[in-house]
């Protein structure tokens, strides 16, 4: 059986039925190695005997088997090469799964377009329709996510921790989270010889510590009470960092790899004697001694251990199980499956329980980008989780991504991946969510000339209580950046300059999930007393003075422009003028326009503007912008009506800017 700390870390596809033709005399040794899961040795043996084989059917089988060996050794590029050769040898006539596995190896390399072509060939030759279409959709989704990353995580290769071999599954091994223990097959591993599965050294546990500057030390192996000539890896620590639980897979000359969880006490910087955690009975009549058990993690209270296993009673492949600790008896209980809200017919492995109760794990049975993807599930009860969601790119990739841990309650930590561009076959990566960065950059201009205005006064206030007073530079510009504008906050901006009508606006960072620069241009109009300034269109029902408000028009919103202006310029006194068109009698139009001007003033009074700052004046039809003669010369009634609307206007004039509110006392 495969070692459990890789439990299974290979270029996973769904385990498909493999048609096996009768072996030839040349492949007896290679087939034997393959059946014992010595994939590295089997691949080399198949390659040696391949030139001696004459049968085209047997050649195709051997080529496919070499591809399978590379797949199971987690060498997806090598697997793709040999699957392609098997297809050239027309092995698909014997086993259509060669197209599927070839497509999977391409998908895990990020070659999505090529993978889709092979999935379609698998489908065309009678492959599982639902499976093929699902993988094609996954390829399309993965390509989109990688092209347009949906998350802001920063991911970096931890070069100091990694080697040219397998390095994966880091766990914090100190209370301060400044020490890591992780699995590695680097040359410093204990024992001699190579693992027949991977062709690398056997896995051991290594440790590294982080100094105050954040630099990791050169990894060193744990002592020999933990590391042996077999495989050790995929560890976990209790909350006191005094007990370690880890996976050990015993290697024997028969090629068996019995994987179990062991525990060991930390004694200073060393570890004591390791002991088996009895989860499966392996030495009794009728016991199932072939199940793999590994990848332990503890819940934050240390009362439950979650692990991965292919023991009977699961949903297929490797499932997540748990055992509860009995404090009185000081023993672990019987294994219980986490259920079908988490487990699938594929593989679920490498669990981790966050301080907030969320469960993180890796799966190739849920829809993802390729290989193993990391998922987060919500805690919905005692040892119950559901709704697993993909962490997406860049934490997940088209390759295998697994073994995530978080640095306490921070949105940062480490995970493992064999994605392209790494230092070794599996590498340790750090991830962190950078803070959102917001910036306000603006320029103030003269409305009439378009020239920038220097020395304008700008006040920016936030609902968090922050307030900034800024003066524009010689180019009329100003900026607030570097943490001055923060997330989840509303801001107001006021811009003022002597001799100009003050202006401003509002903006908000509430709900934003991307760093944003708010670019603004503010235009200040020079103050010219007794000059008509336009308002946004204010309308009234025919022959009435109330504001027109319906599904198409809201004249109250138009007057809010004037409310904002008066609020930003508290010394202004205005004359609010209403005009009618030239139709109708002069005295009637005068009375109607006066009532309309008063309606506008009264609305602004209800909004809090002092009555002494506004003078309503109805001018009827006495000051048309477009004359009757010009209107009568227009070609269509539509044009004429538009001209009447121009005359039918509400405007204001600034008549002074020295208002001081009376003292009511």
Residue 376 scores a pLDDT above 80: yes
Contact 201, 194 (CB under 8 A): yes
CA nearest 427: which of 162, 110, 210? 162
Kindly compute the dihedral angle of the four CA atoms of residues 287, 318, 205, 171, in this order, to the nearest 10 degrees.
-130
Q: What is the pLDDT at residue 394?
A: 94
| pLDDT per position as a tens digit, 17-28 | 333 444 567 899
Q: Dihedral angle at the C-alpha atoms of 156, 162, 164, 166, nearest 10 degrees? A: -100
Instruction: Work out the pLDDT band at 407, boundaries 50, 70, 90.
Output: very high
CB 582, CB 632: distance < 8 Å: no
Evaluated on CA atoms 462, 464, 469, 473, the torsion sign reads negative
CA distance 585 to 577: 19
CA distance 424 to 443: 51
The string of pLDDT tens digits covering residues 280-302 is 887 766 565 678 999 999 999 99
Q: Pick from 208, 123, 116: which is nearest to 170 by CA? A: 208
Closest residue by Cα to residue 153 from 394, 339, 343:
394
List, as own/partner pairs, every contact residues 325-329 make where C-beta atoms lie below 8 angstroms and the sequence separation is at least 24, other chains included.
Answer: 327/303
Residue 286, number of CB atoms within 10 A of its CB: 5
Residue 151: pLDDT band (50, 70, 90) is: confident
d(CA 564, CA 647) in angstroms, rounded, equals 25
Confidence (pLDDT) at 285: 63
pLDDT number for residue 25: 76
DSSP 475: T
Asked which of 192-201, 204-213, 294-303, 375-384 is least confident by mean pLDDT, the reply is 192-201
Report percent pLDDT > 90 for the chain: 74
Q: Is the pLDDT of residue 254 over 70?
A: no
* Count of CB atoms situated within 10 Å of the CB of 284: 8
Band (pLDDT 50/70/90 cuts) for residue 605 is very high
CA separation for the pair 542, 641 (Å, rounded):
14
Residue 153 has what DSSP assignment?
Answer: -
Instruction: Please work out, in degrees rounded to the nearest 5, the angle formed at the alpha carbon of residue 110 by the alpha carbons of 71 and 88.
Output: 55
C-beta neighbour count of 328 within 10 angstroms: 5
In order of 215, 217, 267, 390, 557, the CA distances from 156 in angstroms are: 14, 17, 33, 20, 51
Residue 221 to residue 216: CA distance in whole angstroms:
15
CA–CA distance, 119 with 418 (Å, rounded to integer): 23
Q: What is the pLDDT of residue 367?
A: 87
Distance, CA of 476 to CA of 457 (rounded, Å): 10
The CA distance from 557 to 607, in Å, is 12
Extended beta strands in 270-424, E state: 270-271, 275-276, 293-298, 304-309, 319-326, 331-332, 336-337, 348-353, 359-363, 373-381, 384-390, 401-406, 412-417
pLDDT in tens, 104-123: 999 888 899 999 999 999 99
- Provide the percentage of residues in the chain whose pLDDT is more than 70: 93
Other beta carbons within 10 angstroms of residue 627's beta carbon come to 12
607, with CB counted inside 10 A (0-12, 13-18, 19+), is: middle
305-355: pLDDT as tens digits: 999 999 999 998 999 999 999 999 999 999 999 999 999 999 999 999 999
Q: Mean pLDDT across the chain, nearest whole number?
A: 90
187 or 643, greater pLDDT: 643
The pLDDT of residue 400 is above 60? yes
Is the pLDDT reported for residue 154 higher than 60? yes
pLDDT at 443: 98
Confidence at residue 37, expressed as pLDDT on a 0 to 100 scale:
79
> Above 60 in pLDDT, residue 659?
yes
542 secondary structure, DSSP code: T
pLDDT of the residue at 190:
66
Beta strands of 383-474 (E only): which ranges? 384-390, 401-406, 412-417, 427-432, 438-446, 457-462, 467-471
pLDDT value for 418: 93
Tell me the mean pLDDT in the region 354-371: 93
Half-sphere exposure of 93 (CA within 13 A, CB side): 8
State how far the Cα of 332 lies from the Cα of 387, in Å rounded to an integer.
28
Instruction: Give the CA distances from residue 393 to residues 48, 143, 346, 362, 419, in Å, rounded to whole numbers and listed in that order.
Output: 41, 10, 21, 14, 12
652 pLDDT above the threshold of 80:
yes
On whether the CB atoms of residues 80 and 86 are closer than 8 A, the answer is no
Residue pLDDT, tens place only, 508-565: 999 998 899 999 999 999 999 999 888 888 888 888 899 988 887 788 888 999 999 9
Residues with Cβ within 8 Å of 166's Cβ and at least 6 positions away in sequence, in order, are: 6, 183, 184, 185, 198, 200, 203, 424, 425, 426
Residue 541 vs residue 174, higher pLDDT: 174
Q: Which domains does the chain have, with CATH numbers?
A: 25-147 (1.25.40.10), 154-432 (2.120.10.30), 438-526 (2.60.40.1120), 532-656 (3.30.1330.60)
For 48-83, the pLDDT digits (tens) are 999 999 899 999 999 999 999 998 888 888 999 999
> Reduced to 3 states, what is the DSSP secondary structure of residue 105?
helix
Structure confidence at residue 85 (pLDDT): 95
Q: With 80 as the cut, is the pLDDT of residue 9 above it?
A: no
Which whole number is the average pLDDT over 440-459? 97
- pLDDT given at position 13: 33
Taking residues 173-186, report their average pLDDT.
Answer: 95
pLDDT of residue 196: 66
């Amino acid at each position: 059986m495969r070692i459990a700390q890789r439990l299974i870390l290979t270029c996973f596809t769904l385990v498909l039925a493999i048609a096996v033709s009768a072996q030839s005399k040349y492949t007896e040794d290679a087939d034997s190695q393959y059946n014992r899961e010595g994939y590295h040795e089997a691949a080399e043996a198949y390659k040696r005997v391949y030139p001696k084989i004459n049968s085209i059917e047997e050649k195709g089988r051997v080529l496919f088997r070499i591809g399978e060996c590379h797949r199971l050794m987690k060498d997806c590029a090598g697997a793709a090469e040999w699957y392609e050769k098997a297809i050239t040898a027309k092995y698909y006539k014997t086993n259509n799964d060669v197209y599927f596995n070839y497509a999977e190896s391409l998908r895990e390399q990020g070659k999505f377009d090529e993978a889709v072509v092979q999935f379609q060939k698998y489908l065309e030759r009678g492959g599982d329709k639902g499976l093929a279409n699902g993988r094609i959709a996954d390829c399309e989704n993965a390509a989109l996510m990688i092209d347009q990353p949906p998350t802001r995580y920063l991911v970096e290769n931890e070069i100091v921790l990694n080697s040219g071999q397998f390095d994966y599954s880091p766990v914090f091994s100190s209370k301060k989270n400044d020490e890591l223990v992780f699995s590695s097959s680097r040359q410093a591993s204990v024992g001699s010889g190579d693992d027949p599965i991977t062709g690398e050294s056997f896995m051991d546990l290594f440790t590294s510590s982080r100094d105050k500057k954040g630099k990791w030390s050169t990894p060193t192996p744990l002592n020999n009470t933990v590391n042996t000539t077999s495989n050790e890896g995929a560890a976990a620590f209790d909350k006191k960092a005094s007990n370690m639980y880890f996976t050990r897979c015993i290697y024997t000359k028969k090629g068996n790899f019995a994987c179990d969880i062991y525990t060991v006490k930390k004694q200073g910087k060393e570890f004591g004697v390791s002991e088996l955690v009895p989860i499966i009975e392996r030495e009794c009549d009728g016991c199932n001694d072939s199940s793999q058990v590994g990848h332990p993690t503890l819940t934050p209270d240390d009362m439950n251990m979650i692990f991965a296993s292919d023991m009977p009673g699961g949903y297929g492949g490797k499932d997540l199980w748990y055992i509860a600790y009995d404090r009185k008896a000081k023993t672990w209980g019987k294994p219980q499956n986490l259920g079908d809200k988490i487990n699938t017919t594929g593989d679920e492995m490498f669990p981790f329980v966050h301080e907030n109760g969320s469960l993180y794990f890796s799966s190739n049975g849920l829809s993802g980008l390729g290989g193993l993807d990391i998922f987060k599930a919500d805690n919905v009860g005692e040892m119950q989780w559901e709704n697993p969601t993909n962490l997406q790119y860049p934490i997940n990739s088209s390759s295998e991504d697994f073994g995530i841990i978080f640095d306490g309650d921070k949105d940062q930590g480490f995970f493992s991946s064999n994605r392209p561009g790494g230092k070794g076959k599996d590498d340790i990566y750090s991830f962190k969510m950078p803070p959102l960065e917001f910036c306000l950059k603006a320029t103030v201009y003269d409305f009439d000339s378009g020239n920038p205005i220097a020395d304008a006064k700008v006040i920016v206030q936030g609902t968090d209580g922050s307030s900034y007073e800024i003066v524009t530079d010689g180019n009329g510009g100003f900026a607030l950046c570097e943490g001055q504008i923060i997330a989840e906050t509303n801001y107001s901006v006021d811009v003022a300059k002597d001799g100009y009508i003050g202006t401003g606006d509002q903006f908000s960072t509430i709900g934003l999930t991307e760093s944003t620069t708010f670019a603004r241009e503010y235009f200040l109009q020079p103050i010219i007393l007794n000059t008509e300034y336009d308002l946004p269109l204010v309308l009234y029902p025919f022959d009435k003075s109330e504001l027109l408000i319906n599904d198409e028009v809201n004249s109250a919103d138009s007057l809010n422009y004037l409310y904002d202006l008066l609020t930003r310029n508290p010394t202004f006194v205005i004359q609010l003028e209403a005009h009618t068109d030239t139709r109708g009698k002069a005295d009637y139009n005068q009375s109607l326009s006066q009532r309309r001007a008063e309606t506008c003033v009264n609305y602004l009074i209800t909004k809090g503007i002092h009555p002494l700052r506004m003078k309503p004046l109805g001018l009827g039809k006495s000051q048309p912008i477009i004359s009757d003669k010009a209107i009568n010369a227009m070609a269509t009634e539509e044009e004429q009506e538009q001209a009447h609307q121009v005359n039918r206007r509400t405007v204001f004039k600034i008549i002074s800017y020295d208002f001081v509110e009376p003292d009511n006392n």
